[in-house]
Chain A
């Protein structure tokens, strides 16, 4: 205990003294952010200390208060970013670099948060179906009865999708839709997004909702030969709302209110939207870059263009609570 406590205590104190260091609190998994951070350290000389958290990141920063070592708060899902701002855990950042690189709809007007990458809530389709276009609304169509796979209705990705549906069609229709999707499920809602590809390969279902970048990860072969088998059984389709585009979500970051290393924090954000880093997002993580000058991975692009939905991210964030309650109301996970 002494060893750990003192060791980490000392590293923290040393960190406060040496300016070339910054502390990152992230809900993005270490495996995803490490390549980016390594590249940042290599280019800037700033060391990054990280802690990977899942639930409770805002609670932790809040509790640590003005002594919090957190400089950058990184998370996925617009709801989580807005939540950080609402709790007063972030500070506004004025940066020409960030404003130039990120479209206005992908950052907070006051500079409280910035999107770093985009992901589409996409459709995986059994290859032999030959389907290339799809509306989210169709998921509830009885045609697909017993043929749909999806993860838990309470997962932030699905909550955001439902929230966008509410924004398009209102709560009552969203409820009917969600109940319809539930009726079409081939199996209990659950598992991960990659299980959708696996289950389609296994013939358990024909279509399923999952994030776009998993297709790239599986196709890259980094997950091993089995996952290549799964992904080769499916085709990626970017569905749209009948009166809109593809539902997208973001990963993003904010500078913590009490950031002890504010300059380094801004430097990290600026680096993350640079073409160099955006290329890593696209090529290593297969996400859509937020900086339009960077290219989407060829593994994703081969499935066609993606047109983001017209509903703003903040509107999606507003409907999040209602969406989560709807999932419980229709018993989506039962």
Chain B
């Protein structure tokens, strides 16, 4: 039975790695003179910008995510209950939508700057204007404010399940800086996981960085491919980036190879420290600002713009079918990704070799969506042609949406594998052994022990994947079949044409679809069994 699970994870890993392998083939076609041009004109700036962006976003998401997680788990202050779940809301806003909203809100001739000038008595933007949002700082702030929930989620879970006993111990030892001395070191692995997810998202983000004029390596992939019709060159840059990311992830794992944080005996909530007066106000503010900037402001902007548009031109009749397509595709992909992620995580638990394969399934997260889709393209097309030749209906790309699902899977397996693994990590190995020695095989043990005990983790993973799939644009755009539009492709169609105002309604619906699972995720009841480690 163990062998069946290993075969399963091997199949999933192969599926995820195929597009990367296909990129290798494309890259091997060679691209003359690419690297000398890159080295002379592109790499110095692109590398610097990429590193500055990653460092900035990394620090921002770590500080905001961990800080707010600590505030809401270890303290009590007015509004905490609402903020605790509201802090997740920025997850619902795709970075490209946030970038577009902020650009407009803070436009030199937009509402905010006009208002500031009116107060200060300036007449026009030449006399006074705020620094351009289209800058590295703007990009870091924007991505950080949308991506910090990845860290918030993991850090908060860590504080909930691990911290109480240790923190109380520290307090009894007279330690006042409990956060810095105990909670932070404790949360380090969780923060590392969250930060690496956020950084990979940031690195792959073409929409926001391009919008904001930050020339990352990802933008170079695009200009090489699109402006110079040099796909092998683009594949080479993408693969070099992938190698970089894999290297970084491995370094991070190596750096904490000796850290073992066994699941604490019996998790219970930390005794909340009730804050009063200005401290309470400050805590509330610290948690409210990320929500306001990362979610409330762009969402309000979208509501206003969508309202204007509906009043002006009504709702496009295709919007509902696009919303339906979005939900159907995201649901199907979520089921698939969750299934494969669970297989990978459980195979990893059963066998060391499974663990290696489980790592391999997360590779796709480090590849930009379009690049991944380009890698997938020849494979799914060849498969479909085979299907047609065999007299079967083509369901991948020539006639169905299978390719989109595969792309979502390749892209988001990292979330599923990692999330399910961390859910399983809370189940002591003695449960597996007890079940096995009581006559249940690996599969029975999975069904009767791991499935019920890790349900909260599975639900969380499913919700995250669903939101990500509903937001996904580049692979959907390239791989969907004829006549299928989703909200994201509709939005992009309008944005590419420059008719942003038309896009506001679709953007609002995407955010709304993303919000529902996020709220569910935050409202999820605590584990049902207090004894669950």
Contact = CB atoms under 8 A, between A and B. Distances in A.
Asked if chains A and B are in direct contact (CB within 8 A), the reply is yes
Interface of A: 1, 3-6, 8-13, 23, 29-32, 49-56, 59-60, 63-69, 79, 83, 152, 154, 156, 159, 187-194, 198-199, 201-204, 214, 217, 223-224, 227, 320-321, 323-325, 327-329, 331, 333-334
Contacts of A6: 393, 395, 400
B76 interface: no
B228 to A, nearest CB: 5
B109 A203 contact: yes
B325 A4 contact: yes
A203 B109 CA distance: 8
A223 B503 CA distance: 11
5 contacts: A1-B332, A5-B395, A12-B482, A29-B496, A321-B228
Nearest to B33: A325
Contact of B124 (A64, A198, A203): A203
Contacts of A54: 477-478, 492, 496
Given A1-B402, A202-B109, A321-B230, 11 more contacts: A1-B336, A6-B393, A8-B401, A8-B481, A49-B482, A79-B229, A152-B213, A154-B223, A190-B213, A325-B41, A331-B45
A77 B175 CA distance: 67
Nearest to A226: B501
Contact of B134 (A3, A187, A325): A187
B109 A5 contact: no
Interface residues of B, number: 81
Given A30-B493, A55-B222, A60-B478, A8 B483 contact: yes
Interface stretch (B237-245, B372-380, B508-516): B372-380
Given A23-B482, A53-B478, A328-B41, A32 B374 contact: no
A61 to B, nearest CB: 10
A187 B132 contact: yes
B133 to A, nearest CB: 10
B477 A67 contact: no
A31 B215 contact: no
A331 B45 CA distance: 9
Contacts, number: 205
B501 A5 contact: no
Given A29-B494, A198-B109, A8 B223 contact: no
Contacts of A31: 493-494, 497, 499, 502
Contacts of A69: 398, 482
A32 B401 CA distance: 25
Contact of B227 (A13, A51, A60, A159): A159
B42 A188 contact: no
B125 A202 contact: yes
B108 interface: yes
A152 B210 contact: yes
B388 A67 contact: yes
B400 A4 contact: yes
B456 to A, nearest CB: 26
Contact of B125 (A68, A203, A223): A203
Given A1-B328, A1-B332, A67-B385, A52 B493 contact: yes
B377 A189 contact: no
B229 A83 contact: yes
A194 B398 CA distance: 36
7 interchain residue pairs of minimum CB distance: A202-B109, A5-B400, A1-B332, A324-B227, A63-B381, A9-B399, A203-B124
B73 interface: no
A190 B328 CA distance: 35
Contact of B498 (A63, A188, A190, A193): A193
A59 B22 CA distance: 13
B455 interface: no
Residue of B225, B380, B499 most packed against chain A (CB within 10 A): B499
A203 B117 CA distance: 13
A214 B499 CA distance: 10
A88 B247 CA distance: 39
Contacts of B492: 54
B309 interface: yes
B210 A51 contact: no
Contacts of B399: 5, 8-9, 12-13
B394 interface: yes
Nearest to A27: B496
Interface in B324-357: 325, 328-329, 332, 335-336
A269 B370 CA distance: 30
Contact of A56 (B132, B335, B478): B478
B142 to A, nearest CB: 14
B109 A8 contact: no
Contacts of A55: 222, 225-226, 370, 474, 478
B231 A59 contact: yes
A63 B394 contact: no
A51 B484 CA distance: 7
B126 interface: yes
Nearest to B382: A63
A280 to B, nearest CB: 16
Contacts of A331: 41, 45
Contact of A59 (B219, B328, B374, B405): B374
B489 interface: yes
A223 B501 contact: yes
Contacts of B377: 56, 59-60, 63
B384 A13 contact: no
A316 B186 CA distance: 60
